[in-house]
């Protein structure tokens, strides 16, 4: 019973080339005088689902006796587990396929987000460091690095990188030359060969070395580089160092958004937060409230969106993102959908009010507005955007500014006036709810105002209540859960 098969599990996502990788391994084994039996659950492999390949390798006997190989991976019986992504490594752990006594776990440490992570209203992404820690703890050996970036650097797909990692980890008794020969074999893809080689060396290097955590360097307030800086930075420097970073970014944003005095208006409020906060001795409240305050004060009205679309460095980042060749022509078509509300928000308050309330002008405007595709690389559109961006000069007189600041004030006063620190912090965190455009934005701010209304009216008085309402609002993209949380129905059936 000396000749035991080497067992290997490959977990990949549909379309990642798990089948190609498996076929390469079969060929490598075959060329090395080994038999490889593989099987897979390919039924759901095409459409992004998680899929599993299972391979067993055994040295061919001269006598030609047929080994009986298993088609099932078994808990505690896996020598090598390969996963194309770190959450899939977690899945293999949770299914018991990684054993501390036996299994070498080879995994790329990048993430491919699942639909529940992507569709969350806030941040649904899972805790990757926790997964890496578990993978290290529960595997006999953990070979892990970002195979995704590596293969992208070589312009190829993850299967070639994983093959390199498997060969580099030295878990299979086959020569590197044979691996390389197989990768080079079909189609002679130089990208695949380069990725294989790179991944091979990286796997050797990374073996057993714990992944270094990249602790961000502590923030140091920079020296002023302009007159604006010379005015604002000393004001920020006078605040507690723990909040320098948020204040710096906030002030910077608001100068860019409006002007110096708008940024100062922000800092005045920060000072009030610091006064409210210093009693507690730390600045968590200030930090969070200042973050959301700055973001809210720089609310995305039409002039702001136009301003952002005109950023001089924007074209370069688009070119890089879509991998355009140098000098390749691009057409950039933006999808805008201005509604009457957005137009009214740009107008002086009384006119804007009249517009929103007048049925006739509403109807007239609706006819002209609606879905628009605008080529922002054209001269005409750029001129229009410049016109819209310049509205920011009289922004303080617009309806939008008035309405937003009314809400900001109510929220800010509720934070400052909260009866206890926990409530203040919970209310500050609710600033995160302010997001989206159009109907989404309307829903989230209305929900936030309902929470503030509850605090003002005395119906909501504890941080637990606020957090419950917050999570009800942020769990589902409609208002249902929030309304139930706001006024729990009595036990009769809903009609």
Partner 1 sequence: MAERSFAQEVMKLRAGAGEVFKGEGILAITKALLQSGVSYVGGYQGSPISHLMDVLNDAQGILGELGVHFEANGSEATAAAMLSASINYPLRGAVTWKSTVGTNVASDALSNVASSGVTGGAMVIVGEDYGEGSSIMQERTYAFAMKAQMWLLDPRPNLTSMVDTVEKGFELSEASNTPIFYMMRIRGCHVTGEFVARDNVAPAFNKTHPVSPQREPEKIILPPFVYAQEREKIQHRLPAAIDFIQRERLNEFFSGMHEHLGIITCGGSYNTVIRALERQGLADIYGNVDIPIYCLNVAYPLVPEELVEFCSGKEQVLVLEEGQPEYIEQGIQTALRRADLQTRVYGKDIMPMAGEYTGQVMLEGMTRFVLASKRAHIPLALSLEDVLALETPLSQDDIAALMEELPPRPAGLCTGCPERPIFSAVKQLQEELGPFHISSDIGCHSFATAAPFNLGNTIMGYGLSLASSSAMRHTLPHKAISIMGDGGFWHNGLTSGVTSAVFNGHDGLLVVIDNGYSAATGGQDIPSLVQPNLIASTIDAELPKRHEWQSIEAACRGAGVKWIRTISSYNIDAMKRTLREALTTAAPGLKVIIAEGECMLNRQRRVKPLLKKAIAEGKRVDRARFYVDPETCTGDHGCVRLSGCPSLTIKDNPDPLRIDPVSYVDNSCVGCGVCGTNAHSAVLCPSFARIDLVHNPTRFDTWKAQWRQRFSQWWRERDRRRWVASRL
Q: Segment 438-477, which members bind partner 1 (CB under 8 A)?
A: 438-440, 444, 477
The CB-of-401 to partner 1 minimum distance in angstroms stands at 18
Binding range to partner 1, per CB under 8 A, among 164-172, 173-181, 204-212, 336-344: 336-344
Partners of 464 in beta bridges: none
Q: How far apart are CB 279 and partner 1 at their closest, in Å?
A: 25
* Residue ranges in 200-259 that form contacts with partner 1 under rule CB under 8 A: 222, 224-226, 228-229, 232-233, 245-246, 248-253, 255-256
* Alpha-carbon span 167 to 307, nearest angstrom: 51
Is 33 in contact with 104 (CB distance < 8 Å)?
no
User: Does the protein bind partner 1 through residue 165 (CB under 8 A)?
Assistant: no
CB of 20 to partner 1, least distance (A): 12
Would you count residue 392 as binding partner 1 (CB under 8 A)?
A: no
* Binding characters for partner 1, 263-292, by CB under 8 A (x = yes): ----------------------------x-
Q: How many residues bind partner 1 (CB under 8 A)?
A: 132
Sort residue 34 into left (φ over 0), alpha (ψ -120 to 50) or beta: beta
The helix/strand/coil state of 56 is strand
Cβ contact 141:180 at 8 Å: no
Binding of partner 1 at residue 369 (CB under 8 A)? no
Residue from 187, 213, 218, 371 binding partner 1 (CB under 8 A): 371
| Residues 91-130 contacting partner 1, CB under 8 A | 91, 93-96, 98-100, 112-123, 125-127, 130
Report if residue 324 touches partner 1, rule: CB under 8 A: yes
| 378 makes contact with partner 1 (CB under 8 A) | yes
Residues 322-349 as b or e (16 or more Cβ within 10 Å = b): eeeeeeeeeeeeeebebbbbbbbbbbeb
Q: Which of residues 31-70 bind partner 1 (CB under 8 A)?
A: 36-44, 46-50, 52, 54, 58, 65-70
Dihedrals φ, ψ of 181, to 5°? Answer: -60, -40
Contact between 178 and partner 1 per CB under 8 A: no
Token output for 485: 């949380």
Tokens representing 255 are: 């100068």
Q: Does 310 bind partner 1 (CB under 8 A)?
A: yes
- Residue pair 73/97 in contact (Cβ under 8 Å)? The answer is yes
Shortest separation between residue 465's beta carbon and partner 1, angstroms: 23
Tell the smallest beta-carbon distance from residue 206 to partner 1 (Å).
23
Residues 44, 41: Cα–Cα separation, whole Å: 7
Q: Residue 148 belongs to what H/E stretch?
A: helix 147-153
Comparing CB distances to partner 1, the nearer of 246 and 460 is 246
300 sits near partner 1 (criterion: CB under 8 A): yes
Q: Does 386 bind partner 1 (CB under 8 A)?
A: yes
Pick 7 or 398: Cβ nearer partner 1: 7
Beta bridge partners of 398: 348
By CB under 8 A, tell whether 136 contacts partner 1.
no
Do 270 and 243 contact (CB within 8 A), yes or no?
yes
Among 10, 295, 343, 346, contact with partner 1 (rule: CB under 8 A): 295
Q: Are 147 and 110 in contact (CB under 8 A)?
A: yes
The yes or no reply on residue 160 touching partner 1 (CB under 8 A) is no
Task: Count the alpha carbons within 13 Å of 447 in the hemisphere toward its beta carbon.
Answer: 32
Q: How far apart (Å, rounded) are the C-alpha atoms in residues 267 and 421?
A: 21
Q: Give the span between the Cα atoms of 164 and 174, in whole angstroms.
A: 12
């Amino acid at each position: 019973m000396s000749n035991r098969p080497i067992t290997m599990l490959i977990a990949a996502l549909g379309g990642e080339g798990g089948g190609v990788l498996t076929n390469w391994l079969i060929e490598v084994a075959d060329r090395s005088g080994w038999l490889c039996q593989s099987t897979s659950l390919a039924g759901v492999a095409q459409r992004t689902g998680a899929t599993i390949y299972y391979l067993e390798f055994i040295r061919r006997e001269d006598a030609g006796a047929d080994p009986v190989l298993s088609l099932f991976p078994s808990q505690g019986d896996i020598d090598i587990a390969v996963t194309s992504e770190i959450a899939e490594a977690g899945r293999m752990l949770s299914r018991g396929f990684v054993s501390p006594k036996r299994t070498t776990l080879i995994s790329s440490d990048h993430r491919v987000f699942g639909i529940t992570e992507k569709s969350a209203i806030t941040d649904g992404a899972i805790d990757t460091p926790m997964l890496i820690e578990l993978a290290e703890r529960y595997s006999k050996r953990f070979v892990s690095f970002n195979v995704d970036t590596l293969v992208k650097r070589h312009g190829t797909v993850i299967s070639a990188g994983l093959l390199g990692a498997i060969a580099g980890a030295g878990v299979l008794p086959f020569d590197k030359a044979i691996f390389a020969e197989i990768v080079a074999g079909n189609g002679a893809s130089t990208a695949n060969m380069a990725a294989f080689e790179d991944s091979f060396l990286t796997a050797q290097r990374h073996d057993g070395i714990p992944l270094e955590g990249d602790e961000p360097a502590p923030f140091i307030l920079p020296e002023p580089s302009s007159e604006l800086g010379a005015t604002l930075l000393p004001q920020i420097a006078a605040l507690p160092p723990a909040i320098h970073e948020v204040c710096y970014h906030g002030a910077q944003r608001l100068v860019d958004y409006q002007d110096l005095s708008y940024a100062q208006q922000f800092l005045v409020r920060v000072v009030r937060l610091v006064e409210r906060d210093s009693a507690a001795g730390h600045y968590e409240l200030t930090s969070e409230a200042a973050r959301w305050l700055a973001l809210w004060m720089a609310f995305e009205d039409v002039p702001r969106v136009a301003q952002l679309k005109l950023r001089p460095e924007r074209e370069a980042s688009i070119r890089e993102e879509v991998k355009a060749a140098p000098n390749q022509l691009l057409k950039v078509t933006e999808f805008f959908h201005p509604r009457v509300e957005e137009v009214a928000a740009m107008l002086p308050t009384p006119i804007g009010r009249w517009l929103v309330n007048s049925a006739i002008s509403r109807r007239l405007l609706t006819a002209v507005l609606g879905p628009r595709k605008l080529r922002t690389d054209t001269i005409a559109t750029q001129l229009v955007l410049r016109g819209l961006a310049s509205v920011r000069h009289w922004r303080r007189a617009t309806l939008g500014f008035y309405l937003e600041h009314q809400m900001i004030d109510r929220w800010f006063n509720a934070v400052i006036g909260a009866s206890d620190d926990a409530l203040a912090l919970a209310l500050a965190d609710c600033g995160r709810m302010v997001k989206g455009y159009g109907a989404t934005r309307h829903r989230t701010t209305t929900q936030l105002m309902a929470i503030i209304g509850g605090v003002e009216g005395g119906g909501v008085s504890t941080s637990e209540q606020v957090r419950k309402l917050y999570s009800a609002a942020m769990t589902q993209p409609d208002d249902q859960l929030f309304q139930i949380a706001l006024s729990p129905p009595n036990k009769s059936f809903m009609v």
